Amino acid sequence: MLTDTQCRNAKTVDKPLKLNDGKGLYLEVRPNGSKLWRYRYKINGKENLFAVGDYCQQPAGETEEESKARRDGRRFTLSEARGERERCRGLVKQGVHPSHSQRTEKLRRSIEAGNTFQAVADAWIKDHGKEWSDGYRRQIVQRLGSDAYPHIGALPIKDITPAHVKDVLKRVERRGSPASAKLLRTWIGGAFRYAAGELLVETDPTWPLRNTIRAPKTQHIRHLGAKEIPAFLEALELVQAEPTTKIAAKLLWLTVVRTVELRCAEWVEFDLDAAMWNLPASRMKMREAHAVPLPEQAVTLLRALHVLTGNGRYVFPGRKDREQPLTHEAIRDVFNRAGYAGKFTPHGVRSTFSTYFNEANVDHELIELTLAHAERNKVRGAYNHAKKMGPRRQLLQQWADLSDAWRQGAEVLPFQRSAA
């Protein structure tokens, strides 16, 4: 048997030198200084030679990860070469050529490298995305991209365990978004079920985690009373936030559209000269186009914003990826920074508007049309949509003017129905 000293000091000048270690393993030393492990074996009476790899000494301080990478690169110490010999002997006993096994293993690793979680999830989105709305698909892409891919995206999908997924979900839950964590589990599970159909995995690691995240019980949307509005508007004016996101929060208040409708707004939808925002049916909850007459204050904000984002597609581009719209947490974060965490959310703006004007005895149908609530009779709905455009413009302008007065601390008299 060889010793490491013999391997280390072996030299030859004229022709290759073979140093036998036994059981078919030997070290071939060449004149150019190369030292190569070779394994000689027989299958069906025919002699074969397998190139095990290069001889090397283990570097000082080598980590386990570095050691694995070295061995994957076919560079072995004496003891490691003996381990390879025993592995090869086991294959030979089964009638398998070590070289054939090596090619199969290389192919397997190549396939696994291409089947990372991110690659499979992207394929799932591509194959099934046509069945989803544009907004839903964007939401999945954004959430996987920001919350899942940084942590498990590069891992072979077959190696991902429930513990990996749980870590991802808990990160989202800890930042105060349990509902988002539950959705993320659903979407990660969707990618795994797709992988199972492609025979890439056998199990879905999200299944044991179905009760891991407990979303808070659904509550009625909190709205602000008339006496609470001035303090909120003052806090919103003073909050420290990115200019684009702060303007988004202000426009949400002035236009009383749904948060997703504002976040995904595109510049092509706006006619600022006509003070009109035309939302396509594809982006509306009720799948019906909706025109929003813009109050003067909203037009002023949009013209200022156009200087910042007007060269892109989205009015409110994402912070990290400007080819994607602002995330749903961004506007909520502005409200939280203003001191309203757990007290008032972006979803409460519409109910605040509705409550205020309903208590002022404004035409209920006018309020519902302004909020783009569904009209069961589509013919009547389309007729009213056009007929009440003038009153709707007046109502939103009144809301904006009232907001200016509230912000400035003026004493606002009860709203008179005739004003609308």
Indicate whether 54 pLDDT > 90: yes
pLDDT band of 65, cuts 50, 70, 90: confident
- Regarding whether 276 and 188 lie in a shared domain, the answer is no
Name the residue type at position 327: T
Catalytic residue among 30, 383, 387, 417: 383
**Each residue's pLDDT tens digit, 158-211:** 889 999 999 999 998 888 778 888 999 999 999 999 989 888 888 999 999 988
**pLDDT at position 419:** 41
Which CATH number belongs to the domain containing residue 35 in this structure? Answer: 3.30.160.390
- Boundary-marking domain end, from 209, 239, 256: 209
Read off the tokens for 361: 């005895």
For the residues 238-247, what does the mean pLDDT come to? 92
Residue 215 lies in a domain: no
Lowest mean pLDDT among 241-245, 351-355, 395-399, 405-409: 405-409
- Boundary-marking domain end, from 112, 143, 172: 112
Instruction: Return all residues near 223 (Cβ < 8 A) that are at least 6 apart.
Output: 348, 351, 352, 354, 355
Residue numbers of the domain that contains 139: 117-209
**pLDDT at position 106:** 63
**pLDDT at position 17:** 93
Indicate whether 111 pLDDT > 60: no
**pLDDT at position 130:** 81
Residue 222 lies in a domain: no
- Regarding whether 156 and 294 lie in a shared domain, the answer is no
Residue 17: strand pairing partners: 29
pLDDT band of 51, cuts 50, 70, 90: very high
Catalytic residue among 350, 356, 392, 393: 350
Does the annotation mark 347 as catalytic?
yes
Residue 382 lies in a domain: yes
Catalytic residue among 85, 182, 258, 332: 258
- Regarding whether 108 and 161 lie in a shared domain, the answer is no
Q: How far is CA 10 from CA 28, 80, 268, in A?
A: 10, 18, 75
- Regarding whether 108 and 52 lie in a shared domain, the answer is yes
**pLDDT at position 215:** 61
- The percent of residues in the chain predicted with pLDDT above 90, rounded, is 51
Instruction: Give the chain's mean pLDDT.
Output: 86
Check if the beta carbon of residue 138 is closer than 8 Å to that of residue 314: no
What distance in Å separates the CA atoms of residue 420 and residue 265, rounded to the nearest whole number?
Answer: 27
- Regarding whether 195 and 103 lie in a shared domain, the answer is no
Does the annotation mark 223 as catalytic?
no
Count how many domains the chain has. Answer: 3
Does the annotation mark 222 as catalytic?
no
What distance in Å separates the CA atoms of residue 11 and residue 7, rounded to the nearest whole number?
Answer: 9
Indicate whether 273 pLDDT > 60: yes
DSSP state of 278: E
DSSP state of 414: P
What distance in Å separates the CA atoms of residue 112 and residue 255, rounded to the nearest whole number?
Answer: 50
- Regarding whether 161 and 108 lie in a shared domain, the answer is no
- Regarding whether 52 and 179 lie in a shared domain, the answer is no
Read off the tokens for 93: 């006993």
Indicate whether 411 pLDDT > 50: yes
Does the annotation mark 306 as catalytic?
no
Indicate whether 400 pLDDT > 90: yes
Residue 218 lies in a domain: no
Indicate whether 217 pLDDT > 80: no
Catalytic residue among 137, 373, 388, 407: 373
Q: How many helices (H) and strands (E) does the chain have?
A: 18, 8
Does the annotation mark 258 as catalytic?
yes
Residue 219 lies in a domain: no
Burial (CB count <10 Å: 0-12, 13-18, 19+), residue 280 = middle
- Regarding whether 196 and 264 lie in a shared domain, the answer is no
Indicate whether 135 pLDDT > 60: yes
For the residues 25-44, what does the mean pLDDT come to? 93
**pLDDT at position 281:** 81
- Regarding whether 378 and 239 lie in a shared domain, the answer is yes
Does the annotation mark 151 as catalytic?
no
> Torsion-angle region of residue 395: left (phi > 0), alpha (psi -120 to 50) or beta?
alpha
**pLDDT at position 392:** 92
What distance in Å separates the CA atoms of residue 196 and residue 11, rounded to the nearest whole number?
Answer: 54
What distance in Å separates the CA atoms of residue 394 and residue 293, rounded to the nearest whole number?
Answer: 9
Q: How far is CA 281 from CA 275, 332, 378, in A?
A: 19, 25, 14
Q: Write out the DSSP string of 148-198.
A: IHHHHTTSBGGG--HHHHHHHHHHHHHTT-HHHHHHHHHHHHHHHHHHHHT
For the residues 242-259, what does the mean pLDDT come to? 94
**Among 113-122, 289-298, 324-333, which range has the highest average pLDDT?**
289-298
- The percent of residues in the chain predicted with pLDDT above 70, rounded, is 89
Q: Write out the DSSP string of 317-382.
A: B-SS-TTSBPPHHHHHHHHIIIIITTT--TTHHHHHHHHHHHHTT--HHHHHHHTT---SSHHHHH
Read off the tokens for 169: 């979900």
pLDDT band of 320, cuts 50, 70, 90: confident
- Boundary-marking domain end, from 49, 78, 112: 112
- Regarding whether 397 and 294 lie in a shared domain, the answer is yes
Residue 223 lies in a domain: no
Indicate whether 386 pLDDT > 70: no
Residue 149 lies in a domain: yes
**pLDDT at position 379:** 42
Indicate whether 327 pLDDT > 90: no
Which CATH number belongs to the domain containing residue 360 in this structure? Answer: 1.10.443.10
DSSP state of 276: E
Check if the beta carbon of residue 171 is closer than 8 Å to that of residue 128: no
Read off the tokens for 268: 């092509």
- Regarding whether 399 and 305 lie in a shared domain, the answer is yes
Whose CA is closest to 155, among 108, 114, 126, 196? 114
| Sign of the dihedral through C-alpha 326, 327, 330, 332 | positive
**pLDDT at position 353:** 94
Query: In which element (H, E) is residue 125 found?
Result: helix 117-128
- Regarding whether 405 and 276 lie in a shared domain, the answer is yes
Residue 214 lies in a domain: no
Catalytic residue among 93, 285, 287, 364: 285
Indicate whether 381 pLDDT > 90: no
What distance in Å separates the CA atoms of residue 308 and residue 296, rounded to the nearest whole number?
Answer: 19
Catalytic residue among 23, 97, 347, 388: 347
